[in-house]
Amino acid sequence: AQKITQTQPGMFVQEKEAVTLDCTYDTSDPSYGLFWYKQPSSGEMIFLIYQGSYDQQNATEGRYSLNFQKARKSANLVISASQLGDSAMYFCAMRGGNEKLTFGTGTRLTIIP
């Protein structure tokens, strides 16, 4: 079975500061993929970044980077230079051998001007 844990239900960050959203996972699959999605109040799920379990380097996409620590089973999302538009729910997700995406409970990020 797969499990994603996000321990931060809510976070408040000053605009322009960096923020780290925590995500830990548990799986018995030797190969898996880790995803981060952003969900604004409109409800749509916006793909942010992907990390494969065998990737040697941490994934980066613009202001987003993924701090992947395989031994600790963590895949934290780092947002640099936060903007007011970053305020949203953020979900960590994992896809393993059964091809299904398992989501964490999410973190509500609020950027303070």
Q: DSSP secondary structure string, 68-100?
A: EETTTTEEEEEE-S--GGG-EEEEEEEE-TT--
Assign 65 to helix, strand or coil: strand
Site membership for other proteins, residue 45 (CB under 8 A): yes
CA-to-CA distance for 14 and 81, rounded, in angstroms? 9
First-to-final CA distance of the chain? 41
| Shortest distance in whole angstroms from residue 72 CB to other proteins | 20
Question: Which tokens go with 72?
Answer: 């600790």
Q: Which of 28, 57, 85, 99 binds other proteins (CB under 8 A)?
A: 99
Site membership for other proteins, residue 77 (CB under 8 A): no
Site membership for other proteins, residue 100 (CB under 8 A): yes
The amino acid occupying position 113 is P
Q: Which of 35, 36, 68, 90 binds other proteins (CB under 8 A)?
A: 35
Number of residues engaging other proteins in binding (CB under 8 A):
26
Site membership for other proteins, residue 2 (CB under 8 A): no
Q: Which residues bind other proteins (CB under 8 A)?
A: 31-33, 35, 37, 42-47, 50, 52-53, 91, 95-97, 99-106
